[in-house]
Structure 1
Amino acid sequence: MTSSMSKSDKKKVLDFAAWSFNITTSVGIIMVNKALMATHGFSFATTLTGLHFVTTTLMTIVFRWLGLSQPSHLPIPDLIKFVIFSNLSIVGMNVSLMWNSVGFYQIAKLCMIPASCLLEVVFDRVHYSRDTKLSIMVVLIGVAVCTVTDVSVNAKGLAAAVIAVWSTALQQYYVHFLQRKYSLNSFNLLGHTAPAQAGSLLLVGPFVDFLLTGKRVDHFGFTSIALFFLTLSCVIAIGVNLSQFICIGRFSAVSFQVLGHMKTVLVLSLGFLFFGKEGLNFQVVLGMILAVVGMIWYGNASKITLKGNFIFGCGAGYLLQWIQCWYNWLSLM
């Protein structure tokens, strides 16, 4: 019994560490990229993502050299499908932001949770409880209230948004699927996918960025400060990519999407804290509180979820401590 409790406690600590690692690195890279792009004018998002995967590839090589990552196998067809989904997700989100209003772009991002839910229902035969469904709705409404302002849509923008939503949902589902199917841990899977993504994104990235910005990355005038932020972004990206694979592998794509909206709330809060309170109003505060309440509800509701005829703990409840700490902090703003 003691041994069982010990294992349970260890899992809780590791789950909490995984969530914390992802939240910290994701919020950190958003803040660094904001400084790099908005302040120093490096607007080449797709190329930057390619550079992120270069540093991630270097990390996997070092881990393999240190013996922390064991040799593994991932069939080429599965690798190609994963890279296609991932790159379509990255390019699709960038194009969607360019062709749509910010409001519709945010709505498209909110659609990723229902898309991920549908994939799990169809392929994994997951059955969500009423409380889980309602809590997800509260999260979506809360995030929509605090982020969606103007909403306008056109045909090509809608097409880009649809591609972005489904490719992102498929990529995140595929992370979980490949780890289970081939018994790969996060380091193994990154070791297979990061080099392919780095090469493909660095190949197409400059052309996509030129299409989006009208500027050439090879004409960018680097300063020492811009180079510092670029390097810092690439270093933090190692943690972002690794923690994404760890979280989706330990939990599910849906839980990871809900966590993603926690990061949205944190980024908004930190933005108001560090960059001034312009735009902070009752609607934004109400939306953030709704979103956090929905996440706490989701964490409780999804501790035990029916999957087919089996009951499994999805681990999202271990996010509660993180959320409740930030809920207390938000209440003081």
Structure 2
Amino acid sequence: MAPVSKAERKALMDAGAWIFNVVTSVGIIMVNKALMATHGYSFATTLTGLHFATTTLMTVVMRWLGYVQPSHLPLPELIKFVVFANLSIVGMNVSLMWNSVGFYQIAKLCIIPVLCLFEVVFDNFRYSRGTKLSIMVVLLGVGVCTVSDVSVNTRGLAAAAVAVWSTALQQYYVHYLQKKYSLGSFNLLGHTAPAQMASLLVLGPFVDYWLTGKKVYSFDYSPIVTFFIVLSCIIAIGTNLSQFICIGRFTAVSFQVLGHMKTILVLILGFMFFGKEGLNLQVALGMLLAVVGMIWYGNASSKPGGKERLSHPEKSPEDGRV
């Protein structure tokens, strides 16, 4: 048996990281949807705080075992990241609560052009005509799907918009911090997870009460609800870690481009388990168009001149660009 080459080893690790992210992301979406839609647990912000509590515990254990080495992240950078990340998490959870699974995932497709915009403005990248057209196809597909989703409402659309822009900022910043400070996935989580846990657990009950008019401490925590909460927290460890791993290996744009696999899986599972959110021909065609646009974007941007830096940016995030 021939030895595995370095390129083959990297390809296997990339595939493993992506599969890890797909499985955990789809899993947590379906578990959280069951909690909110089926069992009435609408405290999304508090739940996210619990997610980061278990993630923090994981980083502590990994540090104790010696898998996480000491590292440094300046406090101003940490604060900016936590603001972006908390807005992203709260926005995504609220969007999931107020929208259908389909529209929730479709809105996430918009993160791709927003991240591309960040690269053009902040990193001085230039995109070819084919790359720009592919982004337009993605947006057209998203628009077709959105029109057909009758469960969309004004507040859900607003939550999705906040989620898209804050998520793009958070993911762009993940790649920046990992690159500038030479932070691995465990190291970056070790810095950010405790801060997110503390802020979300403190603010979560108040935010959830403002959103739902219900108190998290007054909810009837039946055994099945408790089971789903624990399951959600366990899966969240993998979701948080795999996101940092994938962004570090693929960059934020590539991470989002590959996300069409999760979108399709979630739409199919949403149709299977939440029949009231059925798929129709218009949604299916819109999804297909969006996926074609993403594949086109991947091919176009990888060609010479498809996506290239014109010059080194004069500013960095520390100079106030984000």
Q: What TM-score comes out, normalization by structure 1 length?
A: 0.81
Deviation at 1:293, TM superposition (A): 2.4
Corresponding position of 2:319: none
* 2:307 alignment counterpart: 306
Structure 1 CA distance for aligned equivalents of residues 160 and 79 of structure 2: 22
1:88 pairs with 2:117: no
Report the identity percentage. Answer: 74
In structure 2, how many angstroms separate the alpha carbons of the residues matched to 1:268 and 1:257? 17
Deviations 1:232-259 (A, max 9, x none): 1000001110111111111222222233
Residues 260 and 136 from structure 1, CA distance in 2 versus in 1: closer, same or farther, beyond 3 angstroms? Answer: same
Residue 194 of structure 1 aligns with an amino acid whose one-letter code is A
1:75 corresponds in structure 2 to 74
Could you tell me which residue of structure 2 aligns to residue 331 of structure 1?
none
Q: 2:42 touches 2:97 (CA, 8 Å); kept in 1?
A: no
What is the alpha-carbon distance in structure 2 between the residues aligned to residue 232 and residue 90 of structure 1? Answer: 18
Counterpart code for 1:134: L
1:50 partner letter? G
- Once residues 268 and 101 of structure 2 are traced to their aligned partners in structure 1, the CA distance between those partners, rounded to angstroms, is 18
- Partner Cα separation in structure 1 for residue 278 and residue 243 of structure 2: 30
Equivalents in 2 of 1:278, 1:124: separation in Å? 40
For 1:186-205, what aligned pairs fall within 5 Å after superposition? 186-205=185-204
Aligned equivalents of 2:32, 2:71: Cα separation in 1: 33
Q: Distance in 1 between matches of 2:221 and 2:38?
A: 13
| Amino acid of the structure 1 residue aligned with 2:190 | G
Hey, what's the Cα distance between the residues in 2 that align with 1:112 and 1:182? Answer: 25
Q: Relative contact order: is structure 1 or structure 2 higher (C-alpha 8 Å, sep ≥ 6)?
A: 2
SS at match of 1:142: helix
Give the unaligned 5+ runs of structure 1: 311-333
Q: What is the Cα deviation at residue 103 of structure 1? A: 9.9
Aligned length in residues: 306
Equivalent residue for 1:116?
A: 115
Point out the more displaced range, 294-303 or 38-47. 294-303
Which residue of structure 2 lines up, in the alignment, with residue 327 of structure 1?
A: none
Q: Find the residue that maps to 1:58 and give its secondary structure.
A: helix
Give 1:131's aligned amino acid. Answer: G
2:220 is matched with which residue? 221
Structure 2, unmatched stretches of 5+, are: 312-322
How many Å separate the matches in 2 of 1:291 and 1:13? 27
Select between 273-282 and 23-32 the one with higher mean Cα deviation: 273-282
Q: Secondary structure at the match of 1:51?
A: helix
Correspondence for 1:50: 49
**Contact 1:98/1:212, CA 8 A, preserved across alignment:** no
Equivalent residue for 2:318? none
> How do residues 107-256 of structure 1 correspond to structure 2 at under 5 angstroms?
109-148=108-147, 149-150=149-150, 153=154, 158=158, 163-256=162-255
1:141 shift after superposition = 2.5
